[in-house]
Amino acid sequence: MKKFYKAIVYAIDLVEIHINAIIFITLFLSMLIQIFMRYVLNKPSPLLHEITMYTFVWTVYLSAALAHRYNSHIRFNILYDKFPRKIQLVIDVVFDIFVSALLAMALPPVISQLKMYSFIKSQITEIPWTYLFMVLPIFMVLVLIHNARRIYSKFFELFKGHLPTEEEKSWD
């Protein structure tokens, strides 16, 4: 079972960290070259503009999933911090279950919508829009996985009174 969890973590790391880093580097370089071509050579490149848009969308969604993994999103927790730890755990579990339910309900329509986007192609590169919007279901699945792990840990802490030990952890 540990090999299975390690394989899941490896796949998630591959997408959220390594592939995201490659996409971000592509974004950065295409923007840099685009700035050079536009302001130095006075010849803007529509191809680079399109690549920049695609890589920006992918970087935003994969980075949001990574931030969700480490619970690093911006939170307004002035009231939340005043509650006892058990109430905080209940709030976290309810919120994560709610978000997971919404994502699970939205995932099938999003995937079916991807099929329609295969007929629409970008103007310059003629890449199907499916590849642009494919990041949305990937993001949704990653958030569902992170929420499952988080719900498990919060339930464990809520009922056992402590965080899971190495043997009891779902995966990390």
- 9 CA to centre of own chain: 14
Q: How far is residue 82's CA from residue 69's CA, in Å, rounded to a whole number?
A: 24
Here the tokens at position 71 are: 């619970």
Torsion of CA 71, 88, 168, 8, to 10 degrees: -30
Indicate the pTM of the whole model: 0.85
Residue type, 49: H
136-163 mean pLDDT: 88
Helix segments in the chain, DSSP class H: 2-13, 20-39, 46-69, 85-117, 129-133, 135-160
Structure confidence by residue, pLDDT tens digits, 22-79: 999 999 999 999 999 999 999 998 999 999 999 999 999 999 999 998 888 887 888 8
Q: What is the pLDDT of residues 149-160, one digit of tens each?
A: 999 888 888 887
Longest dimension (CA), the chain: 65
Give the burial class of 37: count Cβ atoms within 10 A of its Cβ; 0-12 exposed, 13-18 middle, 19 or more buried.
middle
Quick one: pLDDT at residue 168?
Answer: 47
Is it the case that residue 117 has pLDDT exceeding 90?
A: no
